[in-house]
Amino acid sequence: MPVYHLSTRINANVPPSYLLYDLSIYRMDSDRNKYLLVNVKQQPFQDNYETQRHMTANISEPLSTIYIMEVTLYRKTLLETICVSLVPFTHMYTLEEFANGKAWSAVKRENPCYFESTGIPKPVSQGGETKVIKISIPERPFIAKEYAIGSPRDPFEKKLIEYQINNRFNFINSPNQGRGSLCGPAVFFYCLQKDRPEVYAQAARELWRYGKTKIGELMISPGEGCLHPSGSFYDDDGSQRISGLDWITMASLRDSENAVLSFDTLDSPLAGMTMWQTLTEWFEKAGYKKVFSNVGVTQAGIQGIHELNEYAKKGYKVVTLINDGLLEGGTSVLTVPTHWIVWDGPVTEDADRSIHLELFSWGEVTDWITRGKNLSFFIKRFFGGLVFKPLK
């Protein structure tokens, strides 16, 4: 098994010899157990503001594996060493990026930063002097047109988004597209949440902070319309039509793939449609490995169900395309593909021939199949699916 030497770099305007760093590089599993590659304290920087190249133990993970990086900075003075990071700076990169010295950004604020003002005011005995220091704060990327910053109903308010992210990280709830036609992004982010909750949380935080993120090789960079959506985020009773977090993640992912149509309002059905080729690309760029597919525009039949059942029994991610009329609450009266779901087990049949399937849809895992429906009803609304290995 190989050994790697990992590093990152920072931006600063003081000599690197004045600074020290803590560096933690880790990943988590689906149970949120942490696996550390690097965990060092108060280390010196190299002359180019790069950290030392820290050696790992022997590891077997592929280079595409995503890791979270946390950096804390310290400033040395003649008398003491002071921590100058209120909270650790976090970002995520692949093992390959860390090993090749590419775990940093060309955009200054997307790296750990430390800057000091250089002006020295005159003492009062010499007449005194006032120095003006200008600190620029980039505008928050996501601002809803109907809810300005400071509005009590701002869906992208910082504390609200952080609360929603923490709930997802702790599996209190799951992605929910609400009325939006975002079932493709919903199944992708649901699988990511379940397999790598820390990657899901970090991606959401980077989107909120920078308006973009990169999950493995999957770049998510929404356009201006998606960053400043129009439409009401709330129903008349005050309930949210879609959460700010789900817009930030799911609408951003879908908008990033649209060359012509923009996902810029809460009612963008055409811009929200996801084909299986696009869905496959999202999963594979994020590091998932596809092992089987029988998805298409025609019904997959009973053989298709048997094939996917075998993978579901073995714990693979089974993502299938259906007509939403298959599910309780579905509105479609046609038998054409309209909706993506994730299986949470195999399809089963009762003694009375009723079909059952625990599955993820609309933010919840339950037996969504319309009550009392038989196999024939299921098959007419089932168009096969995609199978992926769980993401490690």
Question: Both tokens of residue 64?
Answer: 């595409």
Q: Does one domain contain both 240 and 345? A: no
Q: Does one domain contain both 377 and 313? A: yes
Q: Does one domain contain both 255 and 337? A: no
Query: What is the reported pLDDT for 125?
Result: 67
Angle, helices 197-210 vs 158-169, to 10°: value is 170
Q: Does one domain contain both 171 and 202? A: yes
Assigned domain for 144 exists: no
CB neighbourhood size of 6 (10 A): 24
Report the pLDDT averaged over residues 324-343.
88
Q: Does one domain contain both 165 and 273? A: yes
Q: Does one domain contain both 244 and 326? A: no
Report the pLDDT averaged over residues 247-269.
81
Q: Does one domain contain both 19 and 107? A: yes
Query: What is the reported pLDDT for 236?
Result: 85
Question: Percent of the chain at pLDDT above 70?
Answer: 93
- Across the chain, mean pLDDT equals 92
Give residue 93's identity as a one-letter amino acid code. Answer: Y
**Residue range 19-73, pLDDT digits in tens:** 999 999 999 999 999 999 999 999 999 999 999 999 998 888 999 999 999 999 9
Q: Does one domain contain both 299 and 276? A: no
3-state secondary structure of 197: helix
Question: Both tokens of residue 223?
Answer: 């356009």
Report the pLDDT averaged over residues 80-106.
95
Strand partners, 321: 340
Assigned domain for 121 exists: no
Range name among 65-69, 236-240, 342-346 with the lowest pLDDT average: 236-240
Indicate whether 261 pLDDT > 80: no
Q: Does one domain contain both 192 and 243? A: yes
Q: Does one domain contain both 262 and 297? A: no
Q: Does one domain contain both 215 and 318? A: no
Q: Which domain holds residue 338?
A: 290-388
Widest Cα–Cα separation across the chain: 95
Domain count, the chain: 3
Round to whole Å and give the CA distance between 389 and 34: 20
Assigned domain for 138 exists: no
Assigned domain for 24 exists: yes
Assigned domain for 333 exists: yes
Query: What is the reported pLDDT for 317?
Result: 98
Round to whole Å and give the CA distance between 254 and 268: 11
Indicate whether 335 pLDDT > 90: no
Binning pLDDT at 50, 70 and 90, where does residue 117 land?
Answer: confident
Question: Both tokens of residue 90?
Answer: 């976090």
Q: What angle do CA 346, 347, 351 make, to 5 degrees?
A: 125
Q: Does one domain contain both 345 and 368? A: yes
pTM of the model: 0.93
